[in-house]
Amino acid sequence: MAENFAAQAGSGQINLFEVFSNYRQDPLDVASACIELNYYESILDNTVRAEATLVDTGYRKDNQDGMSIFEKEDINMTSGEKVHLKITDGYNTQLQFVDGRQLRINGDPSASSEDVNKVVFSIDMYSKESIDNMNADNWVYGRYNGSIPDSFRAILQNSLKTPKNIFIDPGLNSYNFLGHAEKPFYLGCFLAKKCVPRLPGAFGKLAGYLFYETYDGFNFRSIDMLFMQQPKRKLIYNQLIGEIPEGYDGKILDYSFIGAVNLDNVIKSGAMSTVRKQEFNRFQNEYNENSKSSDLQYQGRNNGGLEKDRIAKDIAIQEKVTRHVNSRMADNAILTGGNTLAQQIPKAQEPNFNYDEIVRQSMMRYNQLYSHKMSIAIAGDFSLRAGDLVYCDFPEVSGKTNRVVSQKVGGIYMIADVCHRITKNNCYTRLNLVRDSIYRKPFR
116 shares a domain with 22: yes
Q: How far are the Cα atoms of 173, 176, 190 from residue 352, in angstroms, in the given order? A: 10, 7, 15
* Residue 38, number of CB atoms within 10 A of its CB: 17
Q: Is residue 79 part of a domain?
A: yes
Q: How far are the Cα atoms of 40, 363, 435 from residue 268, in angstroms, in the given order? A: 31, 12, 19
Task: Identify whether the C-beta of residue 305 lies closer than 8 Å to the C-beta of residue 438.
Answer: yes
Q: Is residue 359 part of a domain?
A: yes
Q: What is the pLDDT along the chain (444 residues), one digit of tens a residue?
A: 344 444 344 678 999 999 988 777 788 888 988 999 999 999 999 999 999 998 877 654 455 555 555 554 445 677 889 999 999 998 999 999 999 999 999 977 766 666 656 788 889 999 999 999 999 999 999 999 989 999 999 999 999 999 999 999 999 999 999 999 999 999 999 999 999 999 999 998 999 999 999 999 999 999 999 999 999 999 999 876 667 788 899 899 999 988 777 778 877 888 888 888 777 776 677 777 888 888 888 888 899 998 888 777 777 777 788 777 665 666 666 777 766 777 666 676 677 788 888 888 999 999 999 999 999 999 999 999 999 999 999 886 655 555 577 888 899 999 999 999 999 889 999 999 999 998 888 887
User: Residue 114 and residue 107: Cα distance in Å, rounded?
Assistant: 19
pTM: 0.89
For the chain, how many structural domains are there in total? 3
Q: Is residue 243 part of a domain?
A: no
143 shares a domain with 106: no
Domain of residue 31, residue span: 12-126
289 shares a domain with 351: yes
User: Residue 2 and residue 80: Cα distance in Å, rounded?
Assistant: 41
Identify the pLDDT of residue 78: 75
158 shares a domain with 116: no
